[in-house]
């Protein structure tokens, strides 16, 4: 059962990895961080949680404990920085003409 935390999302973005892609105009809504069943905060960009097996690692820790979807945040994960995932986001992005005027041809005589 995921516990909801305060939502740090502003204008379809949230504090996350430097150079991470924006979800603006993609139809994907950024999700707030959550606490997984192990009491570990996922998606807060701090990557350290007192209850995390990474913070309490020993030779008795089974790495399998950190397998599964409850350890991956759907929108604030370093995996979005990969070329493949950036391309997926770009394919979903609504095309936007930043200087588009419906009644004016701003490209006239520019070539």
Per-residue pLDDT of the chain (111 residues; tens, 9 = 90+): 566 555 555 555 555 566 777 788 888 888 888 999 988 988 887 778 888 888 999 999 999 988 999 999 898 888 888 899 889 888 988 776 565 556 666 666 666
Short-list 90, 97, 94, 91, CA closest to 22: 90
The answer to whether 40 touches 68, Cβ cutoff 8 Å, is: no
Q: pTM for this one? A: 0.64
Cα distances (angstroms) measured from residue 26 to each of 3, 21, 94, 96: 26, 11, 6, 11
| Spatial separation of the C-alpha atoms in residues 97 and 92, rounded to whole Å | 16
């Amino acid at each position: 059962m995921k516990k909801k935390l305060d939502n740090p999302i502003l204008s379809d973005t949230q504090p996350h990895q430097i150079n991470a892609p924006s979800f603006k105009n993609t139809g994907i809504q950024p999700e707030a961080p959550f606490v997984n069943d192990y009491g570990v905060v996922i998606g807060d960009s701090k990557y350290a949680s007192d209850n995390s097996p990474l913070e309490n690692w020993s030779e008795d820790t089974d790495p399998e404990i950190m397998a599964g979807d409850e350890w991956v945040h759907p929108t604030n994960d370093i995996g979005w920085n990969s070329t493949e995932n950036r391309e997926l986001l770009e394919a979903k992005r609504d095309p936007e003409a930043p200087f588009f005027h419906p009644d004016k041809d701003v490209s006239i005589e520019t070539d």
